[in-house]
Amino acid sequence: MNITEVDVGQTVKVTGYEKTEKAYRHKLLTMGLIRGAEFTLTRKAPLGDPVEIKLRGFNLTLRKAEAESMILELI
């Protein structure tokens, strides 16, 4: 599952990463989006970029290209 398939209010879990630039993956890992991390999609911009997620008690805004590198599972 990809971030574009998640609806606002749904909670998902990170199960892995697509093969993308290491910089994207490293940035996401540094922000706490490790495998097994659960987050809720709180907002999407009208055109889908950027997206806002709630992760471990704080809100985080990601570009669509970065967020699409995550492989997600619906909880």
CATH of the domain at 44: 2.30.30.90
> What per-residue confidence (pLDDT) applies to 19?
85
Which pLDDT score is estimated for 20?
75
Q: Which domain holds residue 41?
A: 3-74
Domains of the chain: total: 1
Residue environment code for 14-49, b if the CB has 16+ CB neighbours within 10 A, otherwise e: beeeeeeeeebbeebeebebeeebebbbeebeeeee
Average pLDDT over residues 55-62: 92
pTM recorded for the entire structure: 0.85
Residue 43 has pLDDT above 90, yes or no: yes
The winner for highest mean pLDDT among 29-33, 43-47, 51-55 is: 51-55
Between the CA atoms of 33, 45, 59 and 14, what dihedral angle is there, to the nearest 10 degrees?
Answer: -20
50: preceding bond cis by omega (within 30 degrees): yes
Q: What is the DSSP string of 28-43?
A: HHHTT--TT-EEEEEE
